[in-house]
Structure 1
Amino acid sequence: MAVVLALLALVVAVAALVVALRHGVRRPAADEEGLPADAAGLRREVAALRAEAVGALRHLAVVRYDAFEEMGGRLSWSLALLDDSGDGVVLTSIRGRNEARTYAKSVVRWSSDQELSPEENEAVGHARMARS
């Protein structure tokens, strides 16, 4: 009985192979590089996402410090927010005993036309090192 079932399975497999060969095996459509259409579509999407991410503020760094000797707790800070080209802004908040001041300085190609404090320069340097 087992031999009959094995022969029957073999006959069905051979028949399926003959039908597949007669009608041709269909392959997915390919692009000019020979990639299947779905892989080529994914490649285009990844390229578009990479192009879009270039302008994103992806390089971030915060430097905390004591701006005044009488103040402790490192409550002052400088925050660099930059894109892949080094363009963006440095935000600084200086905390004193009775007041806090906040500054924003533009950054182009990892430097600024305005003079940066040592802490702001440090924030830009750390952000530059955080390249992905």
Structure 2
Amino acid sequence: MNTAVSVLALLVALGALVVALGTWRTVTARSGSGDVADLPQDALGLRHEVAALRGEAATALKHLAVVRYDAFGAGLDRSSGGHLSWSLALLDDHGDGAVLTSIHGRNEARAYAKSITAWRSDQPLSPEEEEAVGHARRT
């Protein structure tokens, strides 16, 4: 049975190769030599646009992670529990960006922002902020 499956897979692969070769011949016959220089100017312009977009995407803030926690310990003060504090890392492909933190207490909330360069900060990071940066780096 394994031989029959192998032969069938080989026949399907050969059929796909024949179809691909026929399509390639048709396309190259219509466009001339099939060389990149024969492409219309619009297609070359699109290639440049795609390259520019890839460059811009590298600096987009796309490595994101949130760590939620109880800043004052679970058993200390029930009114400040519920994991209402959080740290949010917003980073690009180079590890540049920021980590934002909100510490929620019973009577007030405080917010902090720290810059990140190459996955590190010049300012000391809390364990939760380090965790958020670590999670963002793995995304």
CA RMSD of aligned residues (A): 2.2
Distance 1:35 1:96, change over 3 A: farther
Deviations 1:76-118 (A, max 9, x none): 0000011111011000000011111100001000010100000
Deviations 1:28-81 (A, max 9, x none): 7x8x73462244333222111001112111111100000012222100000001
Q: Does 1:36 align with 2:39?
A: yes
SS at 1:121's partner residue? helix
Q: Which residue of 2 is the match for residue 118 of structure 1? A: 127
TM-score by length of 2: 0.68
SS at 1:126's partner residue? helix
SS at 2:36's partner residue? coil
Distance 1:35 1:92, change over 3 A: farther
TM-score by length of 1: 0.71
Letter in 2 for 1:83: D
Q: Does 1:58 align with 2:62?
A: yes
Q: 1:105 aligns with which of 103, 114, 128?
A: 114
Provide the rounded CA distance (Å) in 2 between the counterparts of 1:48 and 1:113: 31
Q: Higher helix fraction: Structure 1 or Structure 2?
A: 2
